Amino acid sequence: MSIAFMKNEFVKFVTYSRNQGRFSMLVFGLIVFFFVLDQIRDVSLFDMAFNFGKHFYAEWGLPFIFLTSIIEGILFVNWYFPGSFAVITGALFSRGIVPVWIFIAVVFCGFSLGFFVDYLLGRYGFYRLFIRFQFFRNRLVSAQRALEKWAPVAFLIWYIHPQTGNFVATAAGIVRYSLPKFLFLSSFAGLFWITLWVGLVYMFGGVVLELIESYGYLVLMFALAAQLLVGYIKERKKIVVIS
């Protein structure tokens, strides 16, 4: 592996971090800051935040999850809003309190409303507000091509995460895809992935909570670093480095 190649990859990673990973980098920095602060204090700020989160979700969990699910399903907004993190955290704290089928139903309704907003953004031309950004323009073009090839598969694959699913939902509105077909495919794909992810959290959430309570800062830093790295690997071929 040449030095030039490594330098080019480093520059690409920095470029990606500046454009897409700002929130993750900010949170990563805050975690490190509070970790260092805790070393010189007797009270763990992480434990305080963790306990606050448990009490908050116990009191307001479902309404909050419903609202965050809607926001997380809306194009552009969800790139600057930690909706997925809030939903996963809610699933962790809701184990043993809220039956899994109720949690899935709330998240499903929220995401479905968000994706429907995306469809309307595409159908009535509001998506033009976002295509001034090259990243969003390229993704919408890719989503339209995927819909043209085979719509059912496009919905199922792109709905694996809200930040990709909303591009297909918006593209469906742009090409004026049949509303009944959109609602059916969107509901099917959304329910499939929501059931899978929430089910996994409910199944293995106990182990995760034990790790968080024992090694909270390390787990959070690892999760954020992994998210940033995975996002970079997916996008690295599309990143253009300007020398």
Residue 34, CA atoms < 13 Å, CB-side half-sphere: 17
Quickly count: other Cβ atoms within 10 Å of residue 143's Cβ.
24
SS3 184: helix
Global pTM value: 0.74
Q: Which two tokens stand for residue 20?
A: 């897409």
**Residue 43: predicted pLDDT:** 64
- What is the H or E stretch that residue 210 is in? helix 179-235
Q: How far apart are CA 166 and CA 174, in angstroms?
A: 12
**Residue 123: predicted pLDDT:** 94
Q: How far apart are CA 243 and CA 241, in angstroms?
A: 6
Q: What is the DSSP letter of 98?
A: S
Q: Which two tokens stand for residue 54?
A: 């448990």
**Residue 169: predicted pLDDT:** 95
Q: How far apart are CA 151 and CA 115, in angstroms?
A: 15
Domain boundaries, the chain: 20-238
Asked if residues 140 and 189 have their Cβ atoms less than 8 Å apart, the reply is: no
**Residue 3: predicted pLDDT:** 67
Per-residue model confidence as pLDDT tens for the chain (243 residues) = 566 666 666 666 666 666 555 666 677 777 777 777 777 776 666 677 777 777 787 778 889 999 999 998 998 888 777 778 788 888 888 887 888 999 999 999 999 999 999 999 999 999 998 888 887 888 899 999 999 888 889 999 999 888 889 999 999 999 999 999 999 999 999 999 999 999 988 888 777 767 666 666 777 777 777 766 766 666 655 555 544
Nearest to 184 by CA among 142, 151, 160: 151
**Residue 88: predicted pLDDT:** 84
Q: How far apart are CA 166 and CA 176, in angstroms?
A: 15
**Residue 54: predicted pLDDT:** 77
